[in-house]
Structure 1
Amino acid sequence: MIKKHEIYKTDKWNMMTVEVQGKYLVLREISEEWGEECHTFLSRPALMHWAERRFPKADFENREDEWRQLMAAFKGV
């Protein structure tokens, strides 16, 4: 059974989902700028490490709530 988590979605081109496929976590990031990127992780800590590098808190200056919601979505996987 595959469980799908939506991290964020603004439209059909700007979205990120994580699918739990057995012991694997498959992250799909779709953007109108880059197309689709797929990353596979073997653990939740590896996923969180990637998320913290991909979305550094410094990039969300004056938007800390948005960053917290994003990290909470990753932690909820």
Structure 2
Amino acid sequence: MFKKHEIYKIDKYNMLTVEVQGKTLIVREISDQWGEECHTFVSRPEMLHWAENRFKLASYEGREEERDAIIAAFKSV
């Protein structure tokens, strides 16, 4: 059985989840703009590095708390 972590969920068309399958981490990013993107990582540091780059601080100017919550959710996986 895989452990699934919800990073955020706005509605069923905008969400991000992480599935832990043994040592493999699978990030599923679903958006109404781009559809579903799937990223596979072999380590937690690799996934966190991707998250830091995907959710850049500059993109969340004025919404830093939102970004902090997303990064914190990734770190809790």
TM tier, smaller = over 0.9
Which residue of the partner structure matches residue 27 of structure 1? 27
Which residue of the partner structure matches residue 69 of structure 1? 69
SS in 2 for 1:45: helix
- Equivalent residue pairs, number: 77
Deviation (angstroms), 1:67: 1.1
Deviation (angstroms), 1:23: 0.9
Amino acid at match of 1:29: E
Q: Structure 1: which 5+ runs fail to align?
A: none
Runs of 4+ deviating beyond 6 Å: none
Q: Quote the sequence identity (%).
A: 66
Give the Cα–Cα distance (whole angstroms) in 1 for the partners of residues 64 and 18 of structure 2.
22
Deviation (angstroms), 1:47: 0.4
TM-score (structure 2 length as normaliser): 0.97
Q: Structure 2: which 5+ runs fail to align?
A: none
Which residue of the partner structure matches residue 10 of structure 1? 10
SS in 1 for 2:50: helix
Root-mean-square deviation (Å): 0.6
